Structure 1
């Protein structure tokens, strides 16, 4: 992406480092990217599923709040 601006590069890119990257999770066999709000809640950012039916399911709509229990690998 090219961005033309009269502003200095430092001003334009200020705060980019503070943006959290979405996390990939699988819920009920559906892979999605979520933005974690707290350890038990997240907001769906986008689906990464290959199944077209998953995109029609309102339960997996982007922006929807989901709750889950984190599982830690040993």
Structure 2
């Protein structure tokens, strides 16, 4: 990666070592597969939708940032 900037590099890379790793899981909710980030034990935030059906992307329930409730599968 090449950065063309007039800013000093110590400002550009100031917080690079403090990046948090996200825990993202792939889940199927009904017939829709999505990537979610767990918020707590029974709730997750949608990060990305994975579906071949264009109507799923138009559904506001599946918009990125929305929260879904689920029950973990312990099997």
Residues 1:41 and 1:3: Cα distance change in structure 2 (over 3 Å): farther
Q: How many residues align?
A: 71
Q: Which runs of 5+ in 1 are unaligned?
A: none
Q: Give the greater-gyration-radius structure (CA).
A: 2
Provide the C-alpha distance between the structure 2 equivalents of 1:22 and 1:49, rounded to a whole number of angstroms.
Answer: 17
User: SS state of the match for residue 55, structure 1?
Assistant: helix
Tell me which stretches of 4 or more aligned residues in structure 1 moved more than 4 Å. Answer: none
1:24 to 23, 26, 50: 26
Q: What's the TM-score, normalizing by structure 1? A: 0.79
Q: What's the TM-score, normalizing by structure 2? A: 0.78
Q: Which runs of 5+ in 2 are unaligned?
A: none
